[in-house]
Amino acid sequence: MRRCLFPPVRPPLPRATAVVICATAVIATPAAAQVDLSGYWQRIRHEWEQPQGGPEIGDYSLYPLNEEALSRSHAYDPAIEEVQQQRQCWPHSIGYAMFSLAPMHIRHEENSIHFRVMANEAIRTVWMDGRPHPPEHALHTWYGFSTGAWEGDTLVVTTTHVKEGHVRRNGVPHSDLMTVTEYFTRHGEDLLTMVMVFDDPIYMTEPLVRHMTFRYDPDATMPEYPCEERELVELGGAQLIPHFLPGENPFLEGANVDFFSGEEVNVGEELRR
């Protein structure tokens, strides 16, 4: 059986294997740390919470997407997750992974800070020793390459070299040229805020800013996230990639009604064809 690293966006299934790893929160304070962020942090509820199970298809009206991103998003057919062997159990990239429902664990190391934001072995390293980012031709990964620095009491993390992924779990893409800047600030004993700025020259008209707040939770543990590769739905062989032709996505009808104006946005005539 194989397990994957998706954040548990829905309560575990009865038939899914839900194993809880008993982890001990080791709280150490190395000299390098400006502010101690170590330990388990449990996310709190936010005003932007989406329906349990993820956003609706076609719902990205408040995202700063250009026509390229809209074309990709409109073409997105969730069936692609069902039929493609290689995509099954892919993790979320940094474009989405930090918004996991699972707790986040932070550990200060000698010259780095480690974040565990999803289950199992997915550890994100933020280098604090001033090393440069890799050259352009280096490998890109799901979490990218991160360096950090303290600006006052705020940890500022810069991430490049991320694989193409999504910023919303309904097909809204980010490119592999995206740069992410994160600001982590601890407020007293209990609260930690994270502001993420996604700057993507390929798919966004302006930087996308998202935020999240965590509450310190020394009793938290990191749940193992079960994911198994499933039987493939046979839809016609390896050359069939589920997608909707421009203007023919049946899920888009009525989507993207602007909350303020009531007008339909992001599904303009030019994209319906």
Partner 1 sequence: MTAGPAPPRSPAARHLPGSASRKPCVARRNSSAASCGFRGTRSRPGNVRRRLRIVVHSLQTLVAAACCAASLQTFAQTDFSNVEIVTHHVSGNVHMLVGAGGNMAVSVGEDGVLLVDNQFAPLTDKIVAAIRTLSDAPIRFVINTHVHGDHTGGNANFAALGATLVAHENVRARLAAADSPEGALPVLTFDEEISFHFNGEEVSIIPTVSPAHTDGDTLVYFRESNVIHTGDVFVTLSFPVADTSNGGRLTGHIDVLNQLLELSHTAAGFLSGFGNAPGAYPERPVGALGRPHDRSDTLIVPGHGRLADEVELLLFRNMIVVIRDRVRTWAERGMTLEEIIAARPALGWEARYGADTGPRTTRRFIETLYNEVTAGE
Site for partner 1 in 41-70 (CB under 8 A): 51, 53-58, 66-69
Closer residue to partner 1, CB minimum distance, 152 or 262: 262
Cα–Cα distance between 254 and 267 in angstroms, integer? Answer: 9
Find the binding residues for partner 1 in span 174-233 (CB under 8 A). 175, 177, 201-203, 226-233
Find the binding residues for partner 1 in span 16-45 (CB under 8 A). 16
Task: Determine if 164 is a binding residue for partner 1 (CB under 8 A).
Answer: yes
Find the binding residues for partner 1 in span 84-123 (CB under 8 A). 84-91, 114, 121-123
Task: Determine if 8 is a binding residue for partner 1 (CB under 8 A).
Answer: yes
Mark 17-52 as b/e (b = at least 16 C-beta within 10 Å).
eeeeeeeebeeeeeeebebebbbbbebeeeeeeeee
Cα–Cα distance between 117 and 124 in angstroms, integer? Answer: 8
Task: Determine if 77 is a binding residue for partner 1 (CB under 8 A).
Answer: yes
Smallest distance from partner 1 to CB 262, Å: 10
Region from 22-30, 136-144, 178-186, 189-197 binding partner 1, contact rule CB under 8 A:
136-144
Closer residue to partner 1, CB minimum distance, 93 or 185: 93
Closer residue to partner 1, CB minimum distance, 5 or 212: 5
Smallest distance from partner 1 to CB 45, Å: 19
Closer residue to partner 1, CB minimum distance, 113 or 186: 113
Region from 33-41, 73-81, 183-191, 208-216 binding partner 1, contact rule CB under 8 A:
73-81
